[in-house]
Structure 1
Amino acid sequence: MPQRAATIVGGGIGGLAAALALHRRGWRVEVLERAPEFTEIGAGISLWPNALHALDVLGLADAVRALGAVETAGGVRDRRGRQLSRTDNAELERRFGHPLLVLHRADLLRLLAGALPADSLLPGNEVSAVRGDGERPVVGHRGRESRPDLLVGADGLRSAVRRSLWPDAPGPRYAGYTAWRMVTAPLAEPPSEGAVTWGRGERFGCTALPGGRMYCFATASLPAGTPSGSSEHAEMVRRFAFWPDPVPALLAAVPEDAVLRHDLYDLPPLPSFVRGRVALLGDAAHAMTPNLGQGACQALEDAVTLAHCLDGTPDVTAALRSYDLLRRPRTRAVTRRSARLGTIGQLSWPPAVLLRDTAARLTPPRMTLRAMTPVLGWTPPGHRATATNGDIH
């Protein structure tokens, strides 16, 4: 079979993972990224066992583990600091074959980019036109056109590929709350385990990064586009400085210019992730809220599944139909589940908050872990299942 060519629009985690998965199966790949370099700033990322299984397929799981910190335990607390639930991550690894790993997004991006041929990475290439109605898709960028055998739209929530080829698809929908992300300076005594604290219409979470740093995140129910005060850091202090330990100490360790803020959106379900020789992947296909920590994890699943479906067949269109059948039902279910968890976490009416916190406190840890099995027990296509076939209903 002659070497086939793939153009991936978007140089984030999903796009680079798809390029690497295809490259290792003999495809010639190019990754078009509109930013001047392949990097991300300012935030951590949680890689759950299902994501690490995908990275196993890419040959990078051990390298990623060397860059990250294994979270030994985590849980949920109430606004007064009382433990509501706890997750035993040793049991998580026993059940699903990998631990929960936390690292900086930029480190993961560098690792993925470094595994690809340098000449396949094309930063500073914003897509100007996409057509998919011919025998091969056409992508216009930087004064030239690519006509690959396969086009992958991995260009995020506001995907240009999706807008061009799915013009009638609904746009992103606001989740009802905004989020802040930040990384502390190294701490002399970082918290021994991660935790999410639930308030009324607000949440604050933390998890360990290598080198004594902590990745922190917070949410607040606000109309989309609500401005902060003098700075995002000052807004964090105003909202959370009097929350229970370790929140005040963590905020004190965050540099004033290190707080990122984004209103949160997800994507209504699409009727298909594919159109001819074009496939959507990651946030371009199924953007979800971060409540399950599954956005990048699902993109990594997408990448190895796409490559698996294309492996050994010359019929790209049929392979993409298989990809769609495998990925669309699963990601739709994960998106719904993440949205439900966000609704619960953002409750603000006091009786509802009391009921939520009581239910969390009374739920046995084994039931919590069992409920996570449909998401975390995913196994790459063609590999023997570990805990479950990965279906969610």
Structure 2
Amino acid sequence: MTAVPDWDIVSDADLVGAALSGDRMAFAGIYDRYADRLHDFCVGMVRDRDAAADCVQDVFCTAATALDKLREPDKLRPWLYAIARNEALRRIRQRRREEPSEELPDEASGDAGPDTLAARNELAKLVAEAAGGLSDRDRAVLELGYRHGLEGPELAEALGVSTASAKKIMQRLRDTMERSLGALLVARRGQSGNSCAELGAILAGWDGTFTILMRKRIARHIESCPTCDQDRRRMVNPVALLGGTPLFIPAPAWLRDRTLNRIQLTSASADLGSAPTEAQSALPDAPTEQFAAADALDAEPATTSPNGRVMLTMSLLIGIPLIVLALTIAWRYETNAPVTPKGVTTSVTAPPSTRPENPVTTTAAPPPPTTTHKPPRPLPPGPVGPIEPAPVTTTQPPIIY
């Protein structure tokens, strides 16, 4: 009896290969390895537990049907994050609003004590609230780069950009997050009454929800106010804040069976275990390339090679005139041929001749215009003999001289 492999100790490439060969337990191993991380990422993006669970389910269903398009199986991790990012952004666009979730996980991972967990909870709340001042795409970079540890080529793969571009995006995010955290902390301090008059005017009527507009207004004020800028520098250390937020929201236990059952139904018509064909291997790695700038272009249909087109054109140019010339010669020969070919004899008796015995010169009467052929030429004077009719091909009566 073959032992069940321990998928925890095999590589991502081995998992992908086993799943493509038809081992559904291998795909379950992929789910177990990445479901919690993807769920935590989706919660940070969509800010809703139920929506995040649906998002994770769709991610794995998409991965199951497109696994044969993954050109480099060892890049499974950023590939899954790329699908999750795309799905989360799609749901955010559908929802058309940004409502930070007030929910926090029932339990945090790790063996830290109550004080540490409380501090981490506070940090998580602070970062989550400051993330409300980021755009959807910046928040995706925040989740991937800081909370999930993707960097370098993996981060670039998940974002669908080059490694150099991913590095620039991360640097820009650090600056944006620093401004957002600084604006949030200065705003909280200002709400307690310890702020300058101008900041107090900005915060008048503020309901406490940190939005992109509020972040920009407060950040602009901080840049022009030495007092508020000094407060921001004292309170903000974005690297320490972001690095100290290990709060993790795992996927719910019930999601595993529901997702794997749906994958089994989805892949009933399209076999999950079919190996990628040569044509499938030429497809772009979905969905990474569709995030870069635009959707990949459809492949052009196969066309004749240049040499083949030249040979075909030359053949037509030479062959068509030859065919026309042959038909013309055949037509002229047929219309100019004598009625009775030389050397042909027949037993058919000619009708009685009405001409005198002495040779006379005569001219053949033209046949009635019952055919499209030209009338035969007049025969020269000579001894009168029986005229053999040509093989009967029409209803034209015999020609009498």
TM-score interval, normalised by the smaller of the two chains: under 0.3
TM (norm. structure 1) is: 0.26
The structure with more helix, counted as a fraction of residues: 2
Larger Rg computed on CA atoms: 2
The structure with more strand, counted as a fraction of residues: 1
